Amino acid sequence: MPLSRPGRFLAALVLAVAALGPASAADNADTDADDAARGFIAAPQQLSGTLQGKQFIAGPEVYVDAKTDDDIFAAGGDVEIRTAEVLDIFAAGAVVDLTDVTAEDAILAGGTVSTRGVLAGDLIAAGASVELGHTARVAGDVLAAGGRVALAGDVEGDLRAAAGEIRIDGTVAGNVNLAGERIVLGPNADIRGDLTYRSAQELQRMTGARVAGQISRKTLERPEMPGLVDMILAGALGWFGVVVSGIALGALLVGTVPRLIAGASDSIVVAPWGSLGIGLLVLVGVPVAAAVLMATVVGIPVAVLALLLYGVLAAVGLIAAALAIGKHLPWIGGRHAGTLGFGPRFGRVAAGIVLLALVGLLPFVGGFLILLAAIFGLGAAATQGWQLVGGRG
């Protein structure tokens, strides 16, 4: 899997969405056995044993300890893949951790991404923190980006990284190209090719660090206006990041607050105008009320709490809207969200998110339609949350 083809992840993601649970309205029930057949395991979300074919798993907490002759797709709040033997790994979550994993290629995205596995191919990783432990081995190239990138393992190919802080304390057999605010070569760093870095600061090279090739520095200058191709590529990568983040959020919420998500989704369908009206009221009313409370000083704690709740409702509402949209797609269909198991429900959420992201690409009207969907979801989430708290859900 060459690094120049990150679109393969997106194509695989769309295929995964299509396979996530196309249950028809004629189905009588969604059982755990049905979920397992689609690659989903009911909570706790765990995939283990010797399997065949592509495997899909998602949930607030995901654990993989399996052997398969094909790819594994994993998404959730906390994704742990341990002692697994697979073809390729595609994982996204708040935390993504690979330990004692043997695979060809891996594409990982999350808040914290760490790997201590062996890859026969390439690694693409992005996150607030990206770490390759001292037992990590990558036979191909590594492309890493994030707030912090740390490498203590071995890379047989080239390394390209961009981050606020980059620390290399392992071996890189090929060339290294870095861009960051602070770049450090630890005492165990062994770069056998050339090192090119872009930074406003000088490279920090600790005693023992070795670079066999040439070291060249390019200062960070005022960037030129990007060309059309660069702008298109940046937009595509940004769109892809939004989709992955939305699907990971969907897995987390569908697994942790299923009644709230399902009830809000059904409310959008059953009482759309009520959801829209309440959504508009919440959208405008909560920020205004919070501003008034903050002006009183003594009301600041209540205002902060209200804004936090506002953010939670907005996230729940967007996922609920995606679920309502997903279950009406002709190739998915299905019953009320409350009657679905985790796998089919998450499948509809993922499909809805992908569709909303595609709608967002439409000029002029795309942003308005996404805002409209979010308002419907916000109103439905507020209504359903009130009913659950009041004991009427």
Note the pLDDT tens digit of each residue in 92-125. Answer: 777 889 998 899 999 888 788 999 889 999 999 8
- Regarding whether 378 and 328 lie in a shared domain, the answer is yes
Nearby residues of 162 by Cβ (< 8 Å), 6 or more positions away: 144, 145, 149, 178, 179, 180
Q: Give the least confident one: 216-225, 298-307, 351-360.
A: 216-225
The amino acid sitting at 258 is P
Domain count, the chain: 2
- Regarding whether 150 and 31 lie in a shared domain, the answer is yes
Of the pLDDT bands very low, low, confident and very high (cuts 50, 70, 90), residue 141 is very high
- pLDDT, residue 24, reads 30
Q: State the sign of the Cα–Cα–Cα–Cα dihedral 278, 282, 284, 285.
A: positive
Question: What DSSP line would sit under 205-222, residue for residue?
Answer: E-TT-EE-S-EEEE---P
- Regarding whether 240 and 192 lie in a shared domain, the answer is no
Of the pLDDT bands very low, low, confident and very high (cuts 50, 70, 90), residue 244 is confident
Nearest to 246 by CA among 343, 345, 350, 381: 350
Highest mean pLDDT among 1-15, 18-32, 203-217, 266-280: 203-217
Residue with the bigger pLDDT between 293 and 87: it is: 87
Is residue 19's pLDDT more than 50? Answer: no
165 located within any domain: yes
- Regarding whether 179 and 288 lie in a shared domain, the answer is no
The answer to whether the beta carbons of residues 102 and 118 sit under 8 Å apart is: yes
- pLDDT, residue 172, reads 95
Cα 108 from chain centre: 9
- pLDDT, residue 2, reads 44
Neighbour-count burial for 11-37, b at 16+ CB within 10 Å, e otherwise: ebbeebbbebbbbeeeeeebeeebbee
Q: Which of 168, 192, 218 is the last residue of a domain?
A: 218
Q: Which of 218, 246, 272 is the last residue of a domain?
A: 218
- pLDDT, residue 53, reads 84
- Regarding whether 260 and 210 lie in a shared domain, the answer is no
250 located within any domain: yes
- pLDDT, residue 3, reads 41
208 located within any domain: yes
Q: Which of 171, 199, 218 is the last residue of a domain?
A: 218
How large is the average pLDDT for residues 154-179? 93
Nearest to 57 by CA among 49, 103, 304, 44: 44
1 located within any domain: no
H/E stretch holding 150: strand 142-151
145 located within any domain: yes
- Regarding whether 364 and 281 lie in a shared domain, the answer is yes
How large is the average pLDDT for residues 165-189? 93
- pLDDT, residue 114, reads 92
Nearest to 56 by CA among 331, 346, 252, 336: 346
- pLDDT, residue 185, reads 94
Q: What is the residue-averaged pLDDT of the chain?
A: 78
Both structure tokens of 107: 């594409």
Residue with the bigger pLDDT between 73 and 231: it is: 73
How large is the average pLDDT for residues 16-26? 35
- Regarding whether 336 and 268 lie in a shared domain, the answer is yes
Q: State the sign of the Cα–Cα–Cα–Cα dihedral 379, 380, 386, 390.
A: positive
Range of the domain at 90: 7-218
Nearest to 265 by CA among 191, 215, 317: 317
Both structure tokens of 69: 């002759």
- pLDDT, residue 60, reads 73
The answer to whether the beta carbons of residues 196 and 178 sit under 8 Å apart is: yes
- pLDDT, residue 365, reads 85
> Looking up tokens 């994030």, which residue turns up?
146
- pLDDT, residue 214, reads 92
132 located within any domain: yes
Is residue 337's pLDDT more than 50? Answer: no
Is residue 243's pLDDT more than 50? Answer: yes
Global pTM reads: 0.55
- Regarding whether 343 and 254 lie in a shared domain, the answer is yes
Q: Give the least confident one: 32-36, 115-119, 142-146, 300-304.
A: 32-36
- Regarding whether 285 and 170 lie in a shared domain, the answer is no
- Regarding whether 168 and 150 lie in a shared domain, the answer is yes
Highest mean pLDDT among 135-149, 236-250, 376-390: 135-149
- Regarding whether 147 and 278 lie in a shared domain, the answer is no
How large is the average pLDDT for residues 214-229? 70
Both structure tokens of 158: 């080239």
Residue with the bigger pLDDT between 307 and 189: it is: 189
Percent of the chain whose pLDDT exceeds 90: 22
State the Cα–Cα distance between residues 207 and 212, nearest whole angstrom.
15
- pLDDT, residue 227, reads 66
- Regarding whether 265 and 187 lie in a shared domain, the answer is no
